[in-house]
Structure 1
């Protein structure tokens, strides 16, 4: 797991705390006013179920770990053997280095060197900054090589809303379309309108016993092009996933097997992605970064009080 970095602040009359790990630069814990917004896990455990990972230079999966670049077949290491895919990028085990730290913010960096299946060179960083209602995260990718590099960004936090049981939470996904996948979770190329289907979460659905491992797209966006999706408790309080315009996809994943630090598992993975699974092959959402070029993308986790608490 490496070193843990602690952030703590009191902003806007609220208290904020976060924990970030050196290994993978992952978000391990986040709370606002003592309310846990990210599912923690035992101190002696590696991040389970990809919790908090930075998914660079691709999120989700590359089918069979293979793709073709300029006529050459590239073969990535297979780290999802049960499905035979290359999963969640190349930085999960990276030892991030500290660039800057203040009581309320932290910037970590890690480099990607040319390697099997990805013959490109990137400098990457991730900045965590506490705000009044939660946390803002900014990723920067810079191509320090001599060739255009294919890139996509994602992250894998497990959101919770304090002690509210998962089955009591209402999931709201402000998206008009659902991305269809095959039996090994690779997009089929079909994008289905959610209207009138069980995958319409625009007005929210209580999770109950629902098992999800789904991707949505075609978001309802704000004036800046961003989108917000959330879990809501019966009292109207929320934990929100706010994503900037670069993020065109969100995956939601539920599991009851998460090893919790406090014995309570009330978490749902809400994964912002600039590209869906198999982007290196299907090109969906994939960005080609020119030599010397940089790309900044951001997302955040926010806590909204119950309406009666705001009065």
Structure 2
């Protein structure tokens, strides 16, 4: 593994991982800031949307979301009958968005040619009176990458948390418009004008039903799903594939029962903007600090671990 530590890079150090798999070399670049995935490919076939080292990750591309994914309504939530006010990081909607580590550097605690483990501590701050130690382990495998998150409560009291990640998936050179997105989820969250969940609905008969596959270019999604059908091993899977069948899969274990699918038409493309598809594994939906849905509480010094990954799939 090689490391490029650049103070000029918006995402800090760049950690290059490599693994010689049976179907070709697996490569990735993981960043110091936000423990993000900047590049990921198998035998030259891109599995995520890459971005240059001298640019910030547009649209939260590839970053870890902790201690909550998505949004907290108005940045406010209740703890022991008192209002906690987080800093507003999404002025457009007036919410606190994507946690407290989006621009934070992580510290390397272990590394090999094909893996890296990084650690970052969430300290008490506006609206967050807890200390959480977080670790992210990226490991290349034969067909992609496996990411394992560990959260430990270092506070003297029980602490809540939720975790997510924000990769934009890609299937080689297939235009994003032509990718077919498939997710076997029966229920979608509905949201208000600030994109805060206000209920759920069955996907049957709606334009957010991905169970039989839906072309990304014909979709307008910023949708969180629940009731995602797991396989026999408890794994939930979202796949994107091109017309020839080759594609990419994001899998998530039982610790990540929710997934957000986002078809952004503002993604940087050369000199302009275009479509990209984010698939976000989450342990809880948006506004979990208020709703409590999916929110986990850790006792002092208690730890939690969960995993997800991205892999190439062939026709």
TM-score normalised by the shorter chain: which range applies? over 0.9
Q: Equivalent of 2:172, from 157, 162, 176?
A: 162
Q: Equivalent of 1:143, from 141, 144, 153?
A: 153
Q: What is aligned with 1:127?
A: 137
User: CA 1:251–1:166 in 2, change beyond 3 Å: closer, same or farther?
Assistant: same
Name the stretch that deviates more: 253-262 or 289-298: 253-262
Whether 1:232 aligns to 2:241 is yes
Could you state the TM-score of these two structures normalised by the residue count of structure 1? 0.95
Q: What is aligned with 2:45?
A: 35
| CA distance in structure 2 between the partners assigned to 1:101 and 1:79 by the alignment | 32
Which residues of 2 match residues 73-112 of structure 1 at below 5 A? 73-112=83-122
Which residues of 2 match residues 281-300 of structure 1 at below 5 A? 281-300=290-309
Whether 1:152 aligns to 2:156 is no
1:257 Cα deviation after fit: 2.5
Whether 1:251 aligns to 2:260 is yes
Tell whether the 8 Å contact from 2:151 to 2:303 is kept in structure 1 after alignment.
yes
Tell whether the 8 Å contact from 1:59 to 1:273 is kept in structure 2 after alignment.
yes
Q: How many residues align?
A: 305
| CA distance in structure 2 between the partners assigned to 1:262 and 1:16 by the alignment | 29
Q: Deviations over 1:255-301 (max 9, x none)?
A: 23222579996631000111111100000100001111000011000
Which residues of 2 match residues 205-224 of structure 1 at below 5 A? 205-224=214-233
| CA distance in structure 2 between the partners assigned to 1:36 and 1:262 by the alignment | 21
Whether 1:181 aligns to 2:186 is no
| CA distance in structure 2 between the partners assigned to 1:83 and 1:263 by the alignment | 25
Whether 1:45 aligns to 2:44 is no
1:225 Cα deviation after fit: 1.8
Name the stretch that deviates more: 149-158 or 13-22: 13-22
Q: Equivalent of 2:31, from 15, 21, 26?
A: 21
| CA distance in structure 1 between the partners assigned to 2:63 and 2:313 by the alignment | 24
User: CA 1:35–1:264 in 2, change beyond 3 Å: closer, same or farther?
Assistant: farther
For structure 1, the residue ranges without an aligned partner over 5 or more in a row are: 307-311
Q: What is the Cα-based RMSD across aligned positions, in Å?
A: 1.5
